[in-house]
Homo-oligomer: A and B are copies of this chain.
């Protein structure tokens, strides 16, 4: 069997087999520009969980967006400490994550799982850092803003960089971000009363090891071998399954309840009705979602399309004649969430219902990009 090389995974992480590594891409795009990121008056940053899929994407997005920084700490578990890493042509040594890691850090980007966030997030805040946390640890905490910059920037307006006071800001769940990027512009116009969501979720949501397992299983199945099941308990290659998050007593899994509860919090609307069915599909790094919407006010499909075309961070891909609609592959490594299949819902009376299909990169807008957009609002 041909070995799964990290180059394979890197290529998949980048969304296509032929894409060059991140640093090369950036250099090509900016061949004649001077790197603007490293600045004496920029904030001091820390990336927590820098070796993970989202941690790596934090670096990629920081670089792509020329996010200003005075210095940057690369933090991970003891296992990775001491390893070296190149970022913006400078070599860094990965440090073990400890409470002292946050001394002098202005902004800490966390993506190392809920238990690390719960344990070290409040410590970072005590030491004056503003924590942008990608885990679910604090999302439903009333005192913590849950922010999609295009949707509810006001929720974090009271948090100021340089005030000396630490703070927590939560990054929503990837499925919620991708869904609400498309649903919010319509919600603002016609008020969503009810939303029925079915997801098609990529491997990346379960981390880099899950992506690698999907690749490995696919090779094994093609060779007639039993697929290796370490991350997931069942065959993922050429299959799909109900999301692996634990199922609660109401029959919803935790991923589905995130969509239900986070939508209420982000829209500041405890009455919005949401149901969701979350499914893992054998796709690498972008989620798709089929979203059925019911509105209070009438909203025809042409108006909806116009609203979405003008929405920040959204691109409309909705060509009925050539059957060209959003796909996970085409949004992979892209910033914008793509929306298509925009149509009047035949099952609802009048102009009060729409069906849409949304795709967004899970690692990028679903995680790293959204977190860094939050950090940008602090600058």
Q: Which residues of A contact B (CB under 8 A)?
A: 8, 11-12, 17-18, 194-196, 198, 200, 214-215, 218-219, 221-222, 224-226, 233-235, 238-242, 244, 246-247, 250-253, 260, 273-275, 277, 279, 281-284, 288, 290, 292, 301, 320-321, 323, 325, 327-329, 340-348, 353, 355, 357
A273–B294 CA distance with the chains assembled, in angstroms: 14
Report if A224-B11 is in contact (Cβ < 8 Å); known contacts: A246-B323, A247-B323, A329-B238.
yes
> What is the CB-to-nearest-CB distance from A258 to chain B, in angstroms, rounded to a whole number?
13
Q: Are A292 and B196 in contact (CB under 8 A)?
A: yes
Q: Which residues of B lie under 8 Å from residue A282 when comparing CB positions?
A: 238, 281-283
Interface centre among A252, A284, A301 (most CB of B within 10 A): A252
Q: In the complex, which residue of chain B has the Cβ closest to the Cβ of A248?
A: B320
Extra contacts, 17 of them, besides A8-B224, A239-B329, A240-B283 (Cβ < 8 A), are A17-B225, A17-B226, A194-B347, A195-B347, A196-B347, A200-B240, A214-B238, A240-B281, A241-B325, A241-B327, A242-B340, A244-B323, A247-B323, A250-B344, A253-B323, A275-B292, A277-B357
Listed from nearest, the 8 A-B pairs whose CB atoms lie closest are A251-B343, A198-B198, A273-B347, A198-B290, A275-B347, A247-B320, A239-B329, A277-B290
> What is the CB-to-nearest-CB distance from A47 to chain B, in angstroms, rounded to a whole number?
28
Q: Are B198 and A275 in contact (CB under 8 A)?
A: no
Q: Which residues of B lie under 8 Å from residue A344 when comparing CB positions?
A: 250-251
Q: Per a CB cutoff under 8 Å, which of B221, B239, B246, B327 touches A240?
A: B327
Interface centre among A233, A273, A327 (most CB of B within 10 A): A327
Report if A347-B274 is in contact (Cβ < 8 Å); known contacts: A241-B325, A323-B242.
yes
